[in-house]
Amino acid sequence: MAGRKPKVVGFCCERHGMDAAVLSARSGKEFDASVRLVQVPCTGRVDGMHILKALEDGADCVFVLGCLEKNCYYDTGSIEGRKRVEYVKQMLSEVGVEKERVEMFNSASTNAWMFPEIVSKMVALAKKLGPIGGEKQ
């Protein structure tokens, strides 16, 4: 394991998700991992293909962070996002890959404590599961 940092990709919507991230970044929390955030206009824009591509290209875990379902800027965007995540999970279990590697979260922009929690959770999971297919990647 030495040297390799867990790789986590997060798709965050520019409304609540990204705001929450920025807010928590100000708090100065650091992770022993490579966490890459991708800003999307809305989690409803996150396609199953994006998530799979991230995994294919080396991410250990992927999360999608959108608005609260009752308070989505685009009304049902984060509900759509969740459906895509569920579909990819289904595909992952069909090919025998841990479906926990992909997760959907919802947060309000003002919620500073939740974002570090999500990232910690996904980093811990990435550490536990390791890269898909083992170390040689």
What is the closest distance, in whole angstroms, from the C-beta atom of residue 102 to another protein in the complex?
11
Counting contacts by CB under 8 A, is residue 91 touching another protein?
A: yes
Counting contacts by CB under 8 A, is residue 135 touching another protein?
A: no
Closer to another protein by Cβ: residue 32 or 94: 94
Counting contacts by CB under 8 A, is residue 53 touching another protein?
A: yes
**First-to-final CA distance of the chain:** 12
What is the closest distance, in whole angstroms, from the C-beta atom of residue 60 to another protein in the complex?
11
Counting contacts by CB under 8 A, is residue 28 touching another protein?
A: no
Let me know: does 89 contact 48? Beta carbons within 8 Å.
Answer: no
Name the one range near another protein by CB under 8 A: 8-16, 33-41, 66-74, 94-102.
94-102
Name the one range near another protein by CB under 8 A: 45-53, 62-70, 103-111, 114-122.
45-53
Residues that bind another protein (CB under 8 A): 47-49, 52-53, 55-56, 91-92, 94-97, 132-134, 136-137
